[in-house]
Amino acid sequence: MTVKRASIGARRNPATETAILDAAAALLAERGIAGVSMEAVAKRARAGKATLYRWWPTRGALLMAVYRRQKQITGYPETGTLEGDVAAVLDTLFAHWRRPEGRIFRHIIAASQSDDDLREALEIYRQERLIGLGEVFERAAGRGELSGEVPVPEMARTVMAMAWLHLLVDRLDTDTAGMARSLVRGWAKPADG
């Protein structure tokens, strides 16, 4: 006999949430993105479809929730220099994306090209990550390292674009220190000479 988990109303039941995210992750690993449907996840997690849709209104939102849970990168290292911080950001991301569960993100980006729900969820995630990445440049500005010629959001978008490009073309073995040096050269305040 299958026991259905008890609802606790509008609040998320942690056991049900874990079961749903575990089910979605397992289906993703077994069948790929195309094999993950709200119905299949609900069935495997022994949860109601209404619960899934209440917590994640779209399949894309659910897939991004699976990725967010397994990513567990909450911030970027502070090395004391802009170049070091950008290299640390790239090192952190590339190390994560080289792991099997990190490679899911490449498939999410690819699938978002033909899936409106997934594209919308990815865009929300991208905007959130840009804010986090902007903090790296705000720290550099606070240290007086930036020339001020390029706005912080543009620098964050450039680093994100380079990172995502390297993920998509499977170049995660790139020299991140060299990449960081090239990127920040035009953003740094010129040395007094």
For residue 96, being part of any structural domain is answered with yes
Using one digit for the tens of pLDDT, what is the confidence trace for 63-88? 999 998 988 777 788 999 999 999 99
How many residues in total does the chain contain? Answer: 193
**CATH number of the domain enclosing 47:** 1.10.10.60
pLDDT of residue 7: 45
For residue 3, being part of any structural domain is answered with no
pLDDT of 104 over the 60 cut: yes
* The two three-digit tokens of residue 47, written as one number: 């949860």
Question: Within this chain, do residues 43 and 134 fall inside the same structural domain, yes or no?
Answer: no
* Phi, psi of 188, rounded to the nearest 5 degrees: -75, 150
For residue 16, name the pLDDT band (cuts at 50, 70, 90). Answer: very high
Question: Within this chain, do residues 35 and 80 fall inside the same structural domain, yes or no?
Answer: no
120 versus 12: the higher-pLDDT residue is 120
Note the pTM of the prediction, 2 decimals: 0.82
Burial 59-84 (b: 16+ CB within 10 A, else e): bbbbbbbbbeebbeeeebeeeebbbb
pLDDT of 112 over the 70 cut: yes
Question: Within this chain, do residues 77 and 20 fall inside the same structural domain, yes or no?
Answer: no
Q: What is the mean pLDDT of the chain?
A: 89
For residue 6, name the pLDDT band (cuts at 50, 70, 90). Answer: very low
Question: Which range of residues forms the domain containing residue 144?
Answer: 72-184
Within a 13 Å sphere around the CA of 64, how many CA atoms are in the beta-carbon half? 22
* The two three-digit tokens of residue 168, written as one number: 């998509």
pLDDT of residue 3: 46
42, 67, 154, 193 from 169: Cα distances, Å: 33, 19, 22, 40
pLDDT of 116 over the 60 cut: yes
**CATH number of the domain enclosing 177:** 1.10.357.10
Q: At what angle do helices 176-184 and 82-98 cross, to 10 degrees?
A: 140
Question: Within this chain, do residues 128 and 92 fall inside the same structural domain, yes or no?
Answer: yes
Using one digit for the tens of pLDDT, what is the confidence trace for 19-41? 999 999 999 989 988 889 999 99
CB 74 within 8 Å of CB 135:
no
For residue 93, being part of any structural domain is answered with yes
pLDDT of residue 90: 96
Question: Within this chain, do residues 177 and 139 fall inside the same structural domain, yes or no?
Answer: yes
Question: Within this chain, do residues 113 and 20 fall inside the same structural domain, yes or no?
Answer: no
pLDDT of residue 11: 72
Q: What is the mean pLDDT of residues 113-136?
A: 93
Q: CA-CA distance, 123 to 129, in Å (whole number)?
A: 10
For residue 130, being part of any structural domain is answered with yes
pLDDT of residue 192: 62
pLDDT of 177 over the 80 cut: yes
pLDDT of residue 10: 58
Question: Within this chain, do residues 179 and 104 fall inside the same structural domain, yes or no?
Answer: yes
In the chain, the number of structural domains is 2
For residue 114, being part of any structural domain is answered with yes
pLDDT of residue 193: 43
